[in-house]
């Protein structure tokens, strides 16, 4: 327990050395000197609180808010000294606010705990005591041997020991880690690969030494020492031996591996950012405004205290005959009296700081977040998924986004490759109903309905079937007994590939008649129109990004040696000496213009002498100890020349629906889109072009494949120069992971300057933490833009947590992104509705709510300050204490809350169809200093009108009652309070554009409630009140016709100037939003139509509020 406490406090870090030693199956040395290393357990923790730290941590976070801390101080002052108002007036609202917020945040964290428990409680199988034991994921320890079956996710970082294959290999997909959907092959060391049973593994005596945990997904350094009888065999371990938590086992029945990194030390967890409290820009503005109001409050309190003592300098005012001082007051210290008076004024004016603002904002955010979940436009019917809100604190931030960072695979694309077209021997073909049909021919035309393939077509398809790294599901036979198609081909086999393009091509070839049926040993088997052929695989010339091609050398059934090559057109066409090169180049450009991913395919025949020479050179290069990579590159270039071009293919990575329109809408709204992907450079650029992220007219700049600081800096300077010279046209920037690391290390400013002048940026080959670094770089730049990150895999979690707003896509790559996001949607296209409609509404609503709160509290407290000039600064309160307490809680709270939930200042359809309106609210336009100043000055103006309007009307000795009686000070205070309640409620009514029956009910209901409550409160003697100052006051006030006239006159005088200002600005300097409002009004033919429209929109809202109607309605919010 003591060690755990020391670790939590950071005094006793669990790892002391740079390496860790892991005894497989936890067989520790038997000698007494060995002290086992301590490792983390296998629990994943994404929650923020525990049962123990919830209360202190949550209270600390809440009292960081200016208003909460301020009201705590006021509450303590009221407890300590004699003040004009009761401590309950501050203590009760504070307790209410703190409790409501704690419940909300506790509930959200409980949901995170629930999700963590689901992951940590997942069943796993571990080898213990000679058998397989079923346990929970959280119980796995470092050194345990774990069994994982096909299609299961690895529960820890494992070093592969064996698989169901003799060679100890297995295939995994790391889609949820790095976004790549291709299959990766991992291999076990030969000594453990033969141990395929639990009994054999239980006898294994081995030790692994490896580096301590680090975040890099692609780096692992270690060694395994296997004890066999008398000798110890040492083998190196690299990334090919490590199976990462979050990756999924494919095409392999089962594997056994030893746990090396567990829990929060796994590479997946190290790539998560710690969950920090995100605070919206509106909340930061609120805190700034509170500080300004705190200064106003201190100024008023200090001024009142000074004026009190200035007034009391005169003998007659210091101790008037009717209010003599006690002995204690006469003898007390002047400094203490000054402080006591200052604190008393502070308490008297403290309502200028609106504590109920926070609780109203919390309620608005919490209740408002349900609208996103209930919106049927954000519901995806195919997957039965609706949008979900994980953090309601950031609703208004959706209306402030300036940069969108998006993942590519599974976010912009469907993650499905489809073969579309190909060019063979200069002729374009399309696949129609499982047949290759030349362009221009329909299936019915005589030439389009062939059952055989021409020689060139067959050779092209064989090249597609042989030049790849595709594998077949081990469970499948060759399909001989399966159902047959009309053209004599077996039903499709299940292919796995390291590249989705290859898989799509091999599947397309199998549909049109040439089927790759698998490998056995060093042979590749192909069925051409049902006739089996066997090709011997002699050499594989692996793909690399410099050559941008891959090749195989095979021996045909007739004994001929052939080279088949496929790759990017820029690497194949210059090396081709025959074939339809010009026609193919034109076709490739046409495919690219359609947004297809293109590959060229060529071949070469070798004479026996040529092949002998090639074989010799390859062997020398592959066995070289020095400069092996350079030598291999030279040999590959020597082999891949004098090619005969066969043709080209066009494959589509199917984009999600409406991605292009969404990206274009984001651009119109003034939002810059950055695509951050782990994919290859060419793939990423191709998708960027097809989804409209890059335009064909755009000048695309590249910062790729830089190995040194100097070359990277030079390239950046050249790019900056080009942008300045070509400032007319739009620029797009492509940068890869390694170049980005160099750019961020030394040349951050220059890199940012280049990026900001580009209208679109694409970052490829990005590690998860690099994605987060890019987001942080933009986020912390001098302009402090609001950022949004959207992704669907575990590799996007860091980026999602780093950005101001994180959005998870409910895709095919697990639920990590959704679990760690602030909002989750099913498709990328829903982003436009989320930002342009929901974000716009939330921002407008909360901006008005915040400023209205400050306005109504200025209206409330300024008459109290002005009243002190008429009562010798004696801290006499103008309003009754019940009115003081209920003003913010009952009389003026509901209209603004309902406004902040239902207001639609422009119709949702208009907002979505005109993304340009989003610019009107960008950069916190409605909560800047100017609007804030306007609302504050308006509040002071209205307060002066309330007070002096009432005062002038009553004059020095005016009798406003029929029987000639005068009004007292409580009647005067009540008149001011009545005028104020009506005016601030009517002001809210003026701000409302969209009226529902609820708005009408709470607006007019609040005024009626105030009158009924006042009559009830003043009309009865309440036994529990020690003073009944308000008895019969309100009834007396309302019995005066002059008082009614005063109320109407003052309310009209207050609101007239505000209405005038609105009308003038709307017609002389209208914003885009106001123009849209006027267009919307013109569209209404008559008042009857207006009523129908309003009712229709009201019904929309009612439907929105009814979650039961979700699956089968078609509502547009």
Residue 850 and residue 360 in contact, taking contact as beta carbons nearer than 8 Å = no
The beta-carbon contacts of 422-425 under 8 Å, at least 24 apart in sequence, are 422/460, 422/647, 422/648, 422/649, 422/650, 423/583, 423/584, 423/587, 423/588, 423/591, 423/647, 423/648, 424/456, 424/457, 424/460, 424/646, 424/647, 425/456, 425/457, 425/460, 425/579, 425/580, 425/646, 425/647
CA–CA separation, 313 vs 326, rounded Å? 18
Query: Under 8 Å CB-to-CB from 776, ≥6 apart: which residues?
Result: 802
Does 774 score more than 80 pLDDT?
Answer: yes
Helix residue spans in 1020-1086 (DSSP H): 1033-1038, 1041-1068, 1072-1083
Averaged pLDDT for residues 953-959: 60
At residue 878, the pLDDT reads 80
Averaged pLDDT for residues 563-586: 87
| Residues identified as active-site | 407
Residue 836 and residue 665 in contact, taking contact as beta carbons nearer than 8 Å = yes
Instruction: Enter the DSSP assignment of 921.
Output: G
CA–CA separation, 458 vs 469, rounded Å? 20
Residue 45 and residue 138 in contact, taking contact as beta carbons nearer than 8 Å = no
Averaged pLDDT for residues 539-553: 80
Three-state SS across 268-321?
HHHCCCCCCCCCCHHHHHHHHHHHHHHHHHHHHHHHHHHHHHHHCCCHHHHCCC
Does 807 score more than 80 pLDDT?
Answer: yes
CA–CA separation, 631 vs 629, rounded Å? 6
Residue 824 and residue 810 in contact, taking contact as beta carbons nearer than 8 Å = yes
Residue 780 and residue 748 in contact, taking contact as beta carbons nearer than 8 Å = no
| pLDDT tens per residue across span 172-206 | 887 777 656 667 778 888 888 888 888 888 888 89
Short-list 218, 254, 242, 224, CA closest to 159? 242
CA–CA separation, 416 vs 408, rounded Å? 12
At residue 1111, the pLDDT reads 39
At residue 1107, the pLDDT reads 42
% of the chain exceeding 70 in pLDDT: 84
At residue 317, the pLDDT reads 59
Residue 211 and residue 237 in contact, taking contact as beta carbons nearer than 8 Å = no
- 3-class secondary structure, 672: strand
CA–CA separation, 479 vs 492, rounded Å? 8
At residue 1113, the pLDDT reads 35
Which backbone phi and psi does 645 adopt, to 5 degrees? Answer: -75, 130
Q: Which helix (H) or strand (E) holds 645?
A: strand 643-655
Averaged pLDDT for residues 280-304: 85
CA–CA separation, 499 vs 494, rounded Å? 15
Instruction: Enter the DSSP assignment of 889.
Output: I
Instruction: Enter the DSSP assignment of 675.
Output: E
| pLDDT tens per residue across span 364-385 | 888 888 899 898 888 888 888 8
What tokens appear for 539 in the block? Answer: 């050499």
CA–CA separation, 867 vs 945, rounded Å? 13
Tell me the CA distances in angstroms from 442 to 431, 650, 953, one per residue in order: 11, 20, 92
% of the chain exceeding 90 in pLDDT: 13
At residue 349, the pLDDT reads 83
Q: Name the average pLDDT for the chain.
A: 80
Does 1105 score more than 60 pLDDT?
Answer: no
Of 58-62, 262-266, 630-634, the one with minimum mean pLDDT is: 630-634
In this prediction, residue 595 has a pLDDT band, given cuts at 50, 70 and 90, of: low
At residue 852, the pLDDT reads 92
At residue 485, the pLDDT reads 41
Does 1058 score more than 60 pLDDT?
Answer: yes
Does 624 score more than 80 pLDDT?
Answer: no
Does 295 score more than 80 pLDDT?
Answer: yes
Choose from 492-496, 529-533, 1040-1044 the range with maximum mean pLDDT. Answer: 529-533
At residue 789, the pLDDT reads 93
| pLDDT tens per residue across span 416-452 | 778 888 999 888 888 888 788 888 776 555 444 445 6
| pLDDT tens per residue across span 474-500 | 555 444 343 334 344 445 577 877 677
Q: Which helix (H) or strand (E) holds 731?
A: strand 731-736
| pLDDT tens per residue across span 1077-1102 | 777 666 553 444 444 444 444 444 44
Averaged pLDDT for residues 1000-1021: 85
- 3-class secondary structure, 809: strand
What tokens appear for 581 in the block? Answer: 């090169």
Residue 149 and residue 223 in contact, taking contact as beta carbons nearer than 8 Å = no
The total of other beta-carbon atoms located within 10 Å of residue 205's CB is 13
Averaged pLDDT for residues 257-268: 90
At residue 490, the pLDDT reads 45
Does 274 score more than 70 pLDDT?
Answer: no
User: Going edge to edge, which strands form the sheet with 19-23?
Assistant: 19-23, 206-211, 222-228, 231-237
Averaged pLDDT for residues 989-997: 90
| pLDDT tens per residue across span 314-336 | 666 566 655 666 666 666 667 88
At residue 1092, the pLDDT reads 44
Averaged pLDDT for residues 678-684: 71
DSSP per-residue codes, 126-160: EEETTEEEEEEGGG--TT-EEEEETTPBPSSEEEE
- 3-class secondary structure, 725: helix
At residue 842, the pLDDT reads 92
Averaged pLDDT for residues 1046-1063: 88
């Amino acid at each position: 327990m003591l060690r755990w406490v020391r670790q939590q406090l950071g005094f006793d870090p669990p790892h002391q050395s740079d390496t860790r030693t892991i005894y497989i199956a936890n067989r520790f040395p038997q000698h007494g000197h060995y002290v086992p290393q301590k490792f983390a357990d296998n629990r994943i923790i994404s929650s923020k609180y525990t049962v123990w730290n919830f209360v202190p941590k949550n209270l600390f976070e809440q009292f960081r808010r200016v208003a909460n801390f301020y009201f705590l101080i006021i509450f303590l002052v009221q407890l300590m000294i004699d003040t004009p108002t009761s401590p309950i007036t501050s203590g009760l609202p504070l307790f209410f606010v703190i409790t409501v917020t704690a419940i909300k945040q506790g509930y959200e964290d409980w949901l995170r705990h629930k999700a963590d428990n689901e992951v940590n409680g997942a069943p796993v199988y571990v080898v213990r005591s000679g058998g397989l034991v079923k346990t929970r994921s959280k119980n796995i320890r470092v050194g345990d041997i774990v069994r994982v079956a096909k299609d299961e996710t690895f529960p820890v970082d494992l070093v592969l020991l064996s698989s169901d294959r003799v060679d100890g290999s297995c295939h995994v997909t790391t889609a949820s880690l790095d976004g790549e959907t291709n299959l990766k092959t991992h291999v076990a060391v030969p000594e453990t690969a033969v141990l395929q049973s639990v009994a054999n593994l239980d006898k294994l005596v081995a030790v692994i030494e490896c580096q301590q945990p680090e975040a890099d997904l692609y780096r692992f350094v270690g060694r395994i020492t296997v004890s066999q009888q008398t000798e110890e065999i040492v083998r190196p371990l690299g990334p090919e031996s490590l199976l990462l938590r979050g990756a999924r086992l494919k095409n392999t029945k089962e594997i056994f591996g030893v746990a090396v990194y567990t829990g929060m030390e796994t590479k997946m967890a190290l790539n998560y950012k710690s969950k920090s409290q995100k605070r919206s820009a509106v909340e930061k503005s609120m805190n700034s405004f509170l500080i300004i109001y705190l200064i106003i409050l201190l100024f008023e309190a200090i001024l009142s205290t000074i004026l009190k003592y200035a007034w009391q300098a005169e003998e007659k005012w210091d101790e008037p005959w009717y209010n003599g001082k006690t002995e204690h007051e006469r003898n007390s210290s002047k400094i203490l009296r000054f402080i006591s008076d200052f604190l008393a004024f502070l308490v008297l004016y403290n309502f200028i700081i609106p504590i109920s603002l926070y609780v109203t904002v919390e309620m608005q955010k919490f209740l408002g977040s349900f609208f996103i979940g209930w919106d049927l436009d954000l519901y995806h019917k195919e997957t039965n998924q609706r949008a979900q809100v994980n953090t309601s604190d950031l609703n208004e931030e959706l209306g402030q986004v300036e940069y969108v960072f998006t993942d590519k695979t599974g976010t912009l694309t469907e993650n499905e490759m489809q073969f579309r077209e190909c060019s063979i021997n200069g002729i374009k073909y399309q696949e129609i109903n499982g047949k290759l049909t030349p362009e221009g021919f329909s299936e019915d035309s005589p030439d389009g309905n062939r059952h055989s393939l021409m020689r060139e077509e067959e050779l092209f398809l064989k090249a597609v079937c042989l030049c790849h790294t595709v594998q077949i599901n081990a469970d499948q036979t060759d399909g001989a007994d399966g159902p047959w198609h009309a053209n004599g081909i077996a039903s499709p086999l299940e292919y796995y590939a390291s590249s989705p393009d290859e898989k799509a091509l091999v599947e397309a070839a199998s549909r049109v008649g040439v089927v790759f049926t698998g490998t056995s040993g060093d042979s590749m088997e192909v069925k051409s129109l049902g006739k089996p052929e066997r090709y011997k695989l002699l050499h594989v010339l692996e793909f690399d990004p410099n050559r941008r091609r891959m090749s195989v050398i095979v021996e045909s059934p007739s004994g001929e040696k052939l080279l088949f090559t496929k790759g990017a057109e820029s690497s194949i066409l210059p090396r081709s000496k025959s074939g339809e090169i010009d026609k193919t180049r034109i076709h490739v450009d046409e495919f690219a213009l359609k947004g297809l991913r293109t590959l060229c395919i060529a071949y070469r025949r070798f004479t026996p002498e040529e092949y002998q020479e090639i074989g010799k050179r390859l062997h020398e290069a592959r066995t070289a100890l020095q400069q092996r990579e350079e030598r291999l590159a030279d040999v590959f270039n020597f082999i891949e020349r004098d090619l005969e071009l066969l043709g080209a293919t066009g494959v589509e990575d199917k984009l999600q629906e409406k991605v292009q329109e969404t990206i274009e809408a984001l651009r119109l709204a003034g939002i810059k889109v950055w695509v951050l992907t782990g994919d290859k450079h060419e793939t990423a650029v191709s998708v960027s072009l097809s989804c409209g992220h890059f335009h064909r007219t755009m000048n695309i700049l590249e910062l790729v494949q830089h190995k040194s600081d100097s070359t990277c800096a030079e390239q950046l300077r050249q790019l900056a120069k080009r942008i300045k010279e070509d400032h007319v046209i739009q620029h797009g920037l492509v940068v890869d992971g390694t170049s980005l690391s160099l750019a961020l290390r030394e040349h951050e400013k220059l890199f940012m300057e280049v990026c900001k002048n580009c209208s679109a940026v694409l970052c490829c080959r990005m590690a998860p933490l690099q994605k987060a670094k890019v987001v942080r770089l933009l986020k912390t730049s001098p302009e402090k833009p609001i950022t949004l990150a959207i992704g669907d895999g575990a590799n996007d979690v860091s980026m999602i947590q780093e950005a101001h707003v994180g959005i998870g896509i409910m895709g095919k790559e697990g639920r990590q992104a959704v679990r760690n996001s602030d909002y989750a949607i099913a498709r990328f296209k829903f982003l436009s509705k989320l930002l342009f409609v929901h974000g716009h509404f939330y921002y407008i609503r909360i901006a008005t709510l915040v400023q209205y709160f400050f306005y109504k509290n200025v209206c409330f407290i300024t008459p109290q300050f002005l009243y002190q000039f008429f009562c010798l600064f004696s801290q006499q309160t103008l309003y009754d204490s019940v009115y003081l307490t209920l003003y913010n809680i009952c009389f003026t709270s509901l209209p603004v809350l309902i406004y902040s939930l239902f207001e639609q200042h422009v119709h949702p359809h208009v907002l979505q169809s005109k993304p340009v309106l989003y610019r009107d609210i960008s950069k916190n336009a409605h909560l800047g200093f100017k609007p804030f100043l306007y609302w504050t000055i308006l509040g002071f103006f209205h307060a002066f009108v309330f007070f002096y309007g009432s005062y002038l009307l009553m004059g020095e000795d005016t009798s406003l009652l029929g029987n000639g009686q005068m009004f007292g000070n409580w009647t005067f205070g009540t008149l001011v309070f009545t005028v104020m309640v009506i005016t601030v409620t009517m002001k809210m009514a003026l701000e409302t554009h969209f009226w529902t029956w609820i708005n009408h009910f709470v607006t007019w209901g609040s005024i009626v409630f105030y009158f009924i409550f006042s009559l009830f409160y003043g009309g009865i003697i309440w036994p529990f009140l020690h003073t009944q100052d308000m008895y019969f006051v309100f009834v007396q006030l309302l019995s005066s016709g002059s008082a009614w006239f005063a109320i109407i006159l003052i309310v009209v005088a207050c609101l007239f100037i505000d209405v005038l200002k609105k009308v003038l600005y709307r017609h002389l300097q209208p914003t885009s939003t106001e123009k849209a409002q006027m267009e919307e009004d013109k569209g209404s033919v008559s008042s009857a139509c207006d009523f129908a429209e309003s009712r229709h929109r009201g019904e929309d809202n009612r439907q929105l509020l009814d979650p039961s109607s979700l699956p089968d309605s078609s509502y547009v919010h």
